[in-house]
Amino acid sequence: MNKRILPAEKAKEKLMSYCSKMERCEFDVKQKLFNWGIDEKKSQAILDSLKKDGFINNDRYVESYIRGKYYYNKWGRVKIRFNLKLKGYDENLVAPALDNFFDSVDYEQMILEQLERKNRSLTIEDEYQRKSKLIQFGQSRGYETEISLSCVDRIVNPED
């Protein structure tokens, strides 16, 4: 990849602008610094300065990430947790934020709506294959298996 070398002060200015437009995490900022060829010591100093000045806040980022992925991407708890771990966040930070957010929304209703939408788009007549596709869809979205199964049963067998 073609790296663009920047002086540390210029990099900090660009990162301040970058972080002020949208919530950013340490992982994203470190990637930018690495791509700009800033050495590890200067990168850490810039990162600490951005944290101190409030441009980067892990709690705020995690809450924003959870809200965005739930409302816009319709992701489930499992996928959100996994992706936050990929970005380097500790379970001790992620778990309480997830619990707090998911206590305030109708999670099962959202899953049911998404699975119903998917069910309408399927042309499969075989009930077993239809259920399999819906469960697979639920897992790809990060919905818990138990909730997905109960929702799929309600969709496929509505008379029960």
Asked if the structure places residue 150 within a domain, the reply is yes
Distance CA 50, CA 38 (A): 15
79 and 115 housed in the same domain: no
Distance CA 84, CA 69 (A): 11
User: Any idea of the CA torsion for 45, 51, 56, 61, to the nearest 10 degrees?
Assistant: 120
The 10s digit of each residue's pLDDT in 40-81 is: 999 999 999 999 999 999 999 999 999 999 999 999 999 999
Assigned token pair, 19: 């972080």
Whose tokens are 């049963």? That residue is: 153
94 and 113 housed in the same domain: no
Q: Could you list the residue range(s) of the whole structural domain that residue 70 is in?
A: 58-103
pLDDT of 3 reads 62
Q: How confident is the model at residue 151 (pLDDT cuts 50, 70, 90)?
A: very high
